[in-house]
Amino acid sequence: MTASSAVIRRGTIFSIVLGLVFLAAWQWGPGLLGIPSFIIPPLSAVWHEFWRMVAVNGLMFHTGITAAEVIAGFLLGSLLGACFGYLLGMSPTAEFALSPYILGLQIAPKVAFAPLFILWMGFTVYPKILVAILIVFFPVLVNVLSAVRTVDPDLINLARAFKATRAQIFWKIEFPASLPPLFAGLRIGSTLAVVGVVVGELVGGNTGLGYLLAFGEGQANTPMVFVTILMLTVVGGIAYLAVVLLENRVLHYLPERAVTGF
Amino acid sequence: MLPVSAPGEINKQATMSDLLRLEYRNVTMRFTDQAGKSLTAVQDVSLSLRDGEVVSLIGPSGCGKSTLLNIGSGLAAPSEGAAFVDGEQVSGPNAHVAFMLQKDLLLPWRTILQNVMFGVEVQGVPPLERESRAKALLSSLHLTDFASHYPHQLSGGMRQRVALARTLAVDPTVLLLDEPFSAVDAQTRMVLQRELAQTLMREKKTALLITHDLLEAVTMSDRVLVMSRRPGRLVDELRIDLPDRHDPIARRHHARVTDYVNVLMARLGIDEHMASGAVA
Ligand SMILES: Nc1ncnc2c1ncn2[C@@H]1O[C@H](COP(=O)(O)OP(=O)(O)OP(=O)(O)O)[C@@H](O)[C@H]1O
Ligand SMILES: [Mg+2]
């Protein structure tokens, strides 16, 4: 639903107030409640740790590595997922033959493959990208597949009655009809890509935010862990936002897009 | 008010040649249901439409009307018999036939103008020509102001008019219409019926109109064909000898309209079924 301007204004004010209250609680709450700073470091400590990590630990370098792996894994994973989704969607036989294996792979926890990929490819960026590809692949595939399956057969018949070729039916009907579910899959994929990459980095290697996470843990440096979690959230948030912006451009014809895009 | 551009009754008779535009010869259609049993939907139907004729097809639900339409448009092949368009056997989708359904089937990602151009685009008509054709149709159907709107911004009646424009844009000789107005409200339906009737008359199109609305059948057509319950056969034919086929609203005022509707009701056996509690 398109929110009215009054809802947007009140909602924005409420959001900002809520954010300020949260930040204040983070800064002074632990002290007031007597929680030691190695359990929950106050906001200011995390802030200082952030700048220290930028200077000493190469925080921006590691963030860049993670972001690059997320982008590569997300793009390749969604491309593969979409391609397989369309191929299976157009071939009922292939779908029937492959569906038990797809289901099996979908149930298998994808992050569990991380150690295996590291055994195969060493402490490089590739195993991390591969975990991300694997984890992004399925939601995109499943969404595209069911979208192609559920295109109104009367629409296909309409195109057929105009003597459309198979390629025309795909590009003029099936593909555009599958875009809304495809984007729903991409949104999920964009957040999952971060999970895949981080697990890969946690398991092995000495680059990326996942590595900093493990490093901070080893040092019992709680603020460092907090900073890293925040940076991961920023990376995931930017990926998600990019998908939403693209979606709003591509699916502009849909009625009443949600204002927030969520 | 809409300009009455259609020619009069005498002219109509003159344009109606003996050329058969659409013909079904001994068409039988069987389906296999989920249980693997064979089900005869349509049994030995023969009918023909001359050039410029508008014929309505009525019959109980499930008697095979839409099945006949699919056979005529080449989307389904009959189990026996064949359909012919302009004397040529229908063996697949065919550029001379276009259909329109109860659902408007507009593509939500296309503007109204692009939707109207869909058929001609698929058929490979050059861009400039398809646009000029589509714009002319939009203007004759009073939709010019909505050319760049998206379907969800239009009312159901307007969307159905866009669907009609898309059907006419490919310049078919035969139109197959499957309950085209049954999903719009009564007033809009009357307006759409008149626009369709005027267009059919002006463009000298031949049309097979499937409907459940007996009044629509009587006011829009030259002939009404009646089908039996499944397996659907043609059981009756009623010639409508009334003027004003181009204006169903004017036709409504003819005294004999009610007689025709009553005859159709009797032939469909609607009274009996109501008495026996069956659902028509
Ligand atoms: N593809 C199909 N497979 C199996 N059975 C079918 C198929 N298409 C139609 N039928 C059956 O054929 C019969 C005729 O269907 P059809 O849609 O032509 O009826 P109809 O006269 O158009 O009905 P309505 O007035 O409700 O639209 C029905 O019993 C239907 O279940
Ligand atoms: Mg039907």
Q: What is the pLDDT along chain A (262 residues), one digit of tens a residue?
A: 456 788 888 999 999 999 999 999 999 988 888 888 888 999 999 999 999 999 888 999 999 999 999 999 999 999 999 999 999 988 888 888 888 888 888 888 988 998 999 999 989 889 999 999 999 999 999 999 999 999 999 999 999 999 999 999 999 999 999 999 999 999 999 999 999 999 999 998 889 999 999 999 999 999 999 999 999 999 999 999 999 999 999 998 887 654 444 4
- Mean pLDDT of all residues in B128-154: 93
What are phi and psi for residue A56, nearest 5 degrees?
-100, -45
Instruction: Pick the residue whose CA is nearest to atom 12 on ligand 1.
Output: B41
- Residue A8: its pLDDT value, please? 87
Locus of tokens 């994929």: A189
Q: How many CB pairs under 8 A join A and B?
A: 55
May I ask the CATH architecture of the domain A39-260? Orthogonal Bundle (1.10)
Give residue ranges with CB within 6 A of ligand 1. Answer: B 31, 41, 61-67, 230
B232: DSSP letter: B
Residue A207 tokens, joined: 């680059």
Q: How far away, in angstroms, is B210 Cα from ligand 2 center?
A: 8
- Mean pLDDT of all residues in B264-272: 78
Report DSSP letters for B179-224, one per residue: STTTTS-HHHHHHHHHHHHHHHHHTT-EEEEE-S-HHHHHHH-SEE
- Residue B105 φ/ψ region, left for φ over 0, alpha for ψ in the -120 to 50 degree band, beta for the rest: left
Instruction: Pick the residue whose CA is nearest to atom 9 on ligand 1.
Output: B67
CA dist A143 and A145 (Å) reads 5
Locus of tokens 């295996």: A116
Local confidence band at B163 (pLDDT 50, 70, 90 cut-offs) = very high
CA dist B200 and B174 (Å) reads 10
Angle among Cα A205, A210, A213 to the nearest 5 degrees reads 115
Q: What is the mean pLDDT of chain B?
A: 87
- Chain B positions touching A157 (Cβ under 8 A) are 70, 75
- Mean pLDDT of all residues in B215-225: 93
Is the per-residue pLDDT at B275 higher than 50? Answer: no
C-beta of residue B99 within 8 angstroms of C-beta of residue B74:
no
Look at strands B54-58 and B38-50 and give their pairing. unpaired
C-beta of residue A115 within 8 angstroms of C-beta of residue A164:
no
Of B141-150, B175-184, B188-197, B264-273, where does mean pLDDT reach its minimum?
A: B264-273
Q: Which residues pair with B30 in a beta bridge?
A: B40
Give pTM, 2 decimals: 0.84
- Residue A145: its pLDDT value, please? 92
- Mean pLDDT of all residues in B119-131: 93
Report DSSP letters for A189-223, one per residue: HHHHHHHHHHHHHHHS-S-SHHHHHHHHHHTT-HH
B228: DSSP letter: P
Residue B230 tokens, joined: 């499944």
Q: How far away, in angstroms, is B278 Cα from ligand 1 center?
A: 19
CA distances from B140 to B52, B123, B149, B169 (A): 20, 22, 17, 12
High-pLDDT (> 90) share of chain B, %: 64
Of A168-172, B29-33, B34-38, B147-151, where does mean pLDDT reach its minimum?
A: B34-38
CA distances from A116 to A84, A119, A195, A206, A215 (A): 24, 5, 17, 17, 22
CA dist A103 and A80 (Å) reads 17
Q: How far away, in angstroms, is B62 Cα from ligand 2 center?
A: 7
Q: What is the pLDDT of residues B39-73, one digit of tens each?
A: 999 999 999 999 999 999 999 998 999 999 999 99
Which strands make up the sheet holding B234-239, listed edge to edge? B97-100, B174-178, B206-210, B54-58, B223-227, B234-239
Is the per-residue pLDDT at B145 higher than 70? Answer: yes
Domains of chain A by residue range: 1-35, 39-260
C-beta of residue B123 within 8 angstroms of C-beta of residue A173:
no
C-beta of residue B189 within 8 angstroms of C-beta of residue B197:
no
- Residue A95: its pLDDT value, please? 85
- Residue B8: its pLDDT value, please? 39
- Residue B268: its pLDDT value, please? 84
